[in-house]
Amino acid sequence: MAERLVGKQAPDFTMETAFGDGTGFGKVSLSDYAGKWLVLFFYPLDFTFVCPTEITGLSAATPTLRDMNCDVLGVSTDSIHSHRAWINTPIDQNGLGQLNFPLAADLTKKVARDYGILIEEEGIALRGLFIIDPHGELKYQVVNHNDVGRSVDETLRVLQALQSGGLCPMNWKPGDKNLEVK
């Protein structure tokens, strides 16, 4: 059985990245996000079909997320060179176009393994999305089968609920009251 991660310090990482604008490469660590919220999401492979719908959807939502003191980092087991090529491929040719966040390369598969979403026999990650708070605590995780994309709206709603600081009932949305314990 997989170890529980929610409520604990997020597994540390350092990975190489391809910049979202397609111009170059960098390196990122969990500590780079100290003091901010982080939406860390994994996807199976570059140049596939469901992945670009999620990646470009999260890219479009990134300005809203940044207004909420939240950064975004995408991760797969592909190389930074594959990431850069995918970013620099036009959308009408199954590319991503420019993104508002970097894509990280988990070539060793250590990060996907540490987050409990590596499909060992295939060497790729499941669709895992994690929200990490400004202190490095993992507050939320959702893992999907690779055939089903995730919801940007639900990611925003959950982040808003976490940031509300209270108890949020089912279907809570911004403007709703938090639960009061009597």
89-124 pLDDT, tens digit each: 999 898 999 999 999 999 999 999 999 999 999 999
What is the reported pLDDT for 2?
A: 61
Give the pLDDT band (50/70/90) at residue 73. Answer: very high
What is the reported pLDDT for 52?
A: 87
Average pLDDT of the residues in 41-46: 96
The residue among 157, 7, 13 whose CA lies nearest residue 73 is 13
51 is catalytic: yes
Q: Is the pLDDT of residue 1 over 60?
A: no
Q: Which of 10, 18, 30, 51 is catalytic?
A: 51
Q: Is the pLDDT of residue 180 over 90?
A: no
- Distance of alpha carbon 143 from alpha carbon 47, whole angstroms: 20
Share of residues in the chain with pLDDT > 70 (%) = 99
CATH of domain 14-164: 3.40.30.10
What is the reported pLDDT for 168?
A: 87
User: If you compute the radius of gyration of the chain from its CA atoms, what whole number of angstroms results?
Assistant: 16
Q: Which tokens go with 14?
A: 């350092």
52-63 pLDDT, tens digit each: 899 999 999 999
What is the reported pLDDT for 182?
A: 81
130-178 pLDDT, tens digit each: 999 999 999 999 999 999 999 999 999 999 999 998 888 898 888 888 8
